[in-house]
Structures are given as structure tokens and as C-alpha cells.
Structure 1
Amino acid sequence: MKVAITGGFGFLGWHTACRLRAVHGVEAVRLGRDDFADPQRLAAALADVDTVLHVAGVNRADSDEAVERGNVELAETLAAALTASGSPVDVVFANSVQADLDNPYGRGKARAAEVLAEVVRTGGGHFADLLLPNLYGEHGRPGYNSFVATFAHEVAAGRVPTVSGDREIPLLHAQDAAAALIAAVGTDVREVVAAEPVGISRVLELFGEFHALYRERGEVPDISTPLRRNLFNTYRAAAFPEMWPLSPQVHADNRGDLFETVRAHGGTGMAFMSTTLPGQKRGEHYHLHKVERFFVVKGEAEIELRRLFHDEVVRFRLSGDTPSFVDMPTLWVHNIRNVGDTELVTMFWADQLLDPVNPDQYPETIAQEASA
């Protein structure tokens, strides 16, 4: 299966590309604005593709007419490229629950679905129309993708947003949306993807709880439910990398030193230790959901992290002389290397008990994309 993602560099497109790589071993063709600006370039990019996840959309513009027309034009441009390919292509459309509403965005998305459905089915492919609710997750743009992204960045920066018009909003994590899009490949369905209604003030309350425990003290809050875990990972992404590393209070006496490594307030968890010889490293993987902590107890270490599909590498130096730790954000490749002359002793903690069948651990090297 060769998959293309329109809007592949946006919020949901990035999450979908990450999930395709992690769970299905598929490297998606990611299409952006430049591809849609050049019909020949778009047609060439789709020449060998058998599946398109149409995530691109317009939800903000200078006028309501531009929003409505923008979504239709994206669909028309994609439809023309699919027709030019001359081969059956399955399309999954990341539509919106607003497609059933009479507003500019909803009308634009509804018409886009009609345009694509006709072309895809005429060409012999399958067309799935998934109506998505409000999305949230790691690396959403504040003031753009959702109020959740805005709240996460504001609270992580130590500010307290205000809530006006408090009400329940159906929320769906971007990884769950990506899973639904991928699962719909090869089907002919039109369905609303289920979401969890959450009060706007409740989201802000949870971010405040996370900030007080995590940002200020390094304690892991209650993440015993999927909603809490997903919102916590959203908050962690907003707080990274500025809050790291953290050093706990060391209690010293004539017997030696004592310090806390993890204080968790709910959910499962497991800890383990490792020793690493000089010059050797551990890690070189990433997680979709797992919360993981690297705590350097003895020796000299360098931790490297790189956001999936990005080249910039974030580095932290930690020393057992000042015991400290860094938590690994989800969807970031990471490793830890012994950069000293003596043995490195590291404690690791994860919120998930190890499941050998589904370990939520996907191999990737820090340098792989940067050197490509």
C-alpha cells in the first residue's frame, strides 16, 4: 500500500504520518500547499499512489466565502489529479461534523465530500467520508487548531486563560482520529467518529492540576484514563523542552544521599535500572502514548531527542553529581549515551506495564532523517 496524505505537514497530517510509520510500517507521501499550487506536481506525486488520506482543509480565511470555497477548491484540485492518474484510488476524507450544519465551513466540507465521492467511485475506488469532531493532541498550534492547544501553551507558560461560554465539547485525540482514518481505507462509509464530551472549564482545570504537580515539582499526575493521559501528553508537548532537566531535593547525611525519583498520583507504572558502559547508548525509539522518565543517578550522560519527521535535535547533559531527570515526550525519538569515563547508572520509569505484544515502542535512530 502506497499512501499519500494531503495536508501532510499540518497537525492531523503529521499525527497520521507518525501512526502509519509506527503501527503499519508505511512511509506516507506528505503533500502540502506547494503540491496543490501546481496541478502537474500534484498529479506526479499521486501517480503511483493507491490510497489518499485527504486531511487538507481550510478553516480560517479572510472571509466566510473564502473558507467555504477553499475547501471545495482543494477537493476539485485533488479530484483532477486523481482523474489524471487513470487508476483506481481509494480516498478517505477527514471531514468534519460541521458538514451537516449550514455554515460556510460545513457547506464547504459537505460539497468537498460530494466532489471527491463522484470522482473516486467513477474511477473504481472506494470513498470513505469520516466526520471528525474537535481534535486535540501533541503539538497543536495555539490559537489555531483548538482551544485545547491554546490552554496547554498558556498554562505551560504560567498563565491562566479565562473561560467564556463554558460548555461540553466532543474531543478526539489526533492519534485516535488517525487510527480511524487508516482503518477506513478500502471502505465505502459515511460515519461520525465517536468522541468524548468534556467541559471547556474541565480541560483548563486538568491542565492546572498537571502544571502544579508536573511543571512545578516533577510529579506525575493521575493519568489513569485515556482522556487524562492524552491531555497530559498534550500539556507535556507544550512544556517541552523549556522545563528540562529537573533536579529533586537531595537529603544528605552521614550515610549518604537520598532523593525521590518518581512520585505518581494515579495509574500504573514500572521502574527499572540500567548500567551503561562509556561510549554506549540506549533508546533509539519513540512512543505514541507512553510517559517515560530517564533519571541519571551516577555518571555522565547526554540525552538526545528529535521530533518525528523533523531534523532538529534537542540535547541535555545530565550528571550523577547533581541527580536529575528528563521525561521523554511522545512522538519524539530519544536515546541516552554515556559520555563519561565511568559506568553510567540510570533509572527508567514508565507509566505502562511492559506488554511484550504491544509495547508502544518503535525503533528509530536520532540521525536517520537528518542524514537522509
Structure 2
Amino acid sequence: MLKLAVTGAGGFLGWHVRVLLRALGWPEPTVLTRADLADSGLVAAKVAGVDQVLHLAGVNRGEPADVAAGNVQLAAQLAAGLKHCANPPRRVVYANSVQAGNGTPYGDAKATAARVLADSGVDLDDVLLPNLYGEHGRPYYNSAVATFCRLLAEGGRPEVHADRELSLVHVTDAAARLIGMPAGGSWDPAMPALRIGVQALADRLAGMAATYRTGEIPPLSERHDVRLFNTYRSHCFPAHYPLPLPRRADARGELVETVKAHGGAGQTFCSSTVPGITRGEHFHLAKVERFVVLRGSAEISLRRVGDAEVVRFPVRGDEPVLVDMPTMWVHKLVNTGPDELVTMFWTNELFDPDRPDTWPEPVEAARPAPVAVGA
């Protein structure tokens, strides 16, 4: 368990690094904002005694000159602070890019930044990252995946004007590589890539969106299918939920279709819960999980990891709906009625006690204030 300091903690990659650290029970990292980086003395004080600094801050979009200058400046500011530190960290882990040194302003600036950090006197782990995708990416900024997912979630259709092959890595895998975690959970620090054309990506996501529109689960036959689906769902939440379920009634009673899965593994289980009792209080990094209350009344509460706002869904068994838990959102189910609560749960994978992908955290406990995006 390492003591870390992080630049770019409020960005896409930074948030996922902090979520993984939270899941693993590591200490909250020391955060270096862009304002902090401008003060070398403050940087030196903040990084003193930490084991590693993760340099994730960067400039990905904008005028070419601003992108080039921004990436070099951020590295130079961190390096200046490291040189002033009496008790420097053992290593700097740099979130570099596979585009480093490719002749573009961005690529050349990333390569220059690596050289600046290498000259700081602290050991450098220069990690070349490909295109990253994952939950809560910023559309039109972080990746084509985020852009396509947002368009589809809003009822639009992606348009591809220039097709080319992409090499996509899920951001949790990159986070595991950056903090030095071995394989063993839902992450893979080897960063297995999905190689896919832009048009094929758009079609794959559009197919998932079309299937999921009525709550049916698309085929989830391999890990990138699961992670692309989770990324799409992150753009649907919370506006698309709860989703009413089809009901059929005759003289015998009623039938409710709770899960229609088009492929892949899955597990269904039911629970009964007495009044006032809570289930859950955890989050998942990759698992797809569905709640359907069949009898009684309940409240499903969710909070994105690191945030304070709680989203609440009151649900009743006499009006069955589905609520799918987004990954990296802490969630719980509380029996709010006077009678027994009966709930059906479905997950996309068989439970593995060695890799449960269930990370305890209270939904409504006081947490450190979230880091502003872009910090």
C-alpha cells in the first residue's frame, strides 16, 4: 500500500485512479492542483514523504500552441517542485501517450515533458497510454467512445466521417498499471486493447443502445463488451431510470419479465428483507447488477464514488420497474414499507468469492470533498 500524490486528480483518468484506490482501501492521495503546481515550494511540501507521484495532468484539446506549451509547462512545474523537495518521492509515474514524439504538437510536447521529468532527479516510470475509454468520460473531449455513448443516450446516432482503426484500453486497466497493481481483480494492468474501426465501434455501441432501450441486456461475451456497455450506461444514468417492466395478467395472476439477456453469463437471485433493513452499501468496478422489487416498497439510493449528491428511486412491487446499478456508484436498497420486501437481483457474471468485485462503502457517509474537474 503506497502513499501517493496525484496531479490531474479531477480529470477522467484521475477520477478512475481515485476510484480504484478507494476500492483497494488505500489512503486518499495528496492532490496537486494546477494552482499548486505554479508554486514550487508548495509542491515540494506536498510531495515530501510520499512514495510516488502520479503525473496525470495534461492538455489534450485546444489550439496546437496551447496544447504544446501546457503539457511542457505542467511537467516543468512538477519537476521544479521535486528539485526543491528535501524528502522527494521514490518515483514519478507519468501518464504519457503512445503519440509521444509523433511529430504533432501534442505528441512532441508529451515527449518533451517526459524528458523534463526525467531530469528532475527522481526515478521516472514513463507509461505510454493508448486511447482510454470508460465510465463518465467527457464527450467531444476524452474519446470517441464517450461522444458516441452520449449521442446514443440522447437518442441520436453517431456519424463517422473518417474511419480508422483505434486501439482502446479501459481506463481502470490503465489506473491499475499506473499504481502498480498486479492482475487479480476486475482490472488488468497489462492493458489489453480492443482494436476496432471507428465505424465498427459506432455500430457496436448503437446495437447495445438499441437492445437496452427496453431494458434487454445486449450480448456481453467478452470483457470489452462489458466495459463498453458500462460506459454507455454511465451516460444513461439517472435520466433513463427507473424503467417500467412488461406485465402480463390473466386469471391465474401476473407475470413480469425482469431480465432478457442476449448472451454471456449471468446469475439471478432473490432476497426477502424485513422492514427498515438495508442491503448493499457497496459499489462495483465492472459488474452489471439489476434490482427489481417484486413485493413491498423500497428506496434505492446511489452516489457516485467521490461525489456527495445522492440519487433516490422509490420503487414498489405493485408497479415493478428495473434499476440497473451503474458501475462506480455506491448503492443500497432499504425496505421503506411495513411488510416484507421481496427483491430480485441479476448480475452479468457468476459470483466468484475470490473476485467478488464488491467494494464496501456507505452511500450517505461523509466523504472528502470531490476534486473539481480540471484540477
TM-score normalised by structure 2 residue count = 0.92
Which AA in structure 2 matches 1:242? Answer: A
RMSD over aligned CA atoms reads 1.8
Which AA in structure 1 matches 2:316? Answer: S
Equivalent residue number for residue 251 of structure 1:
248
User: Is 1:83 aligned to residue 80 of structure 2?
Assistant: no
Equivalent residue number for residue 115 of structure 2:
114
Q: 1:110 deviation in Å?
A: 0.5
Q: Identify the range of structure 1 (312-321 vs 20-29) with the bigger mean alpha-carbon deviation.
A: 20-29
Structure 2 counterpart SS, 1:217: coil
User: Is 1:274 aligned to residue 271 of structure 2?
Assistant: yes
Q: Is 1:302–1:339's contact at 8 Å kept on the other side of the alignment?
A: yes
Structure 2 counterpart SS, 1:296: strand
Q: 1:298 deviation in Å?
A: 0.5
Q: Is 1:99–1:109's contact at 8 Å kept on the other side of the alignment?
A: yes
Which stretches in structure 2 are left out of the alignment for 5+ residues?
Answer: 183-189, 370-375
Find 1:131's aligned residue among 124, 128, 141: 128
Find 1:304's aligned residue among 301, 306, 310: 301
Distance 1:52 1:333 in 2: 27
Q: Is 1:281–1:336's contact at 8 Å kept on the other side of the alignment?
A: yes
Percent identity reads 51
Distance 1:241 1:337 in 2: 19
Distance 1:257 1:80 in 2: 69
Which stretches in structure 1 are left out of the alignment for 5+ residues?
Answer: 186-191
Question: Are residues 359 and 194 of structure 1, via their aligned partners in 2, closer, same or farther at CA, if it must alter by over 3 Å?
Answer: closer
Q: How do residues 198-237 of structure 1 correspond to structure 2 at under 5 angstroms?
A: 198-214=196-212, 216-237=213-234
Equivalent residue number for residue 21 of structure 1:
22
Structure 2 counterpart SS, 1:85: coil
Equivalent residue number for residue 50 of structure 1:
51
Equivalent residue number for residue 332 of structure 2:
335
Which 4+ residue blocks in structure 1 deviate beyond 6 angstroms?
Answer: none
Equivalent residue number for residue 287 of structure 1:
284
Equivalent residue number for residue 155 of structure 1:
152
Q: 1:126 deviation in Å?
A: 2.8
Structure 2 counterpart SS, 1:80: helix
Give the structure, 1 or 2, with the largest relative contact order (CA under 8 Å, sep 6 or more).
2
Equivalent residue number for residue 175 of structure 2:
178
Q: Is 1:20–1:27's contact at 8 Å kept on the other side of the alignment?
A: yes
Which AA in structure 2 matches 1:72? Answer: V
Q: Kindly provide the CA deviation profile for residues 55-114 of structure 1, in whole angstroms up to 9, marking residues without a partner as x.
A: 1101123x3222111111101111111122222421110000111301111111101101
Distance 2:236 2:229 in 1: 10
User: Is 1:64 aligned to residue 57 of structure 2?
Assistant: no
Which AA in structure 1 matches 2:305? Answer: L
What is the count of residue pairs matched by the alignment? 361
Q: Is 1:303–1:317's contact at 8 Å kept on the other side of the alignment?
A: yes
Higher helix share: 1
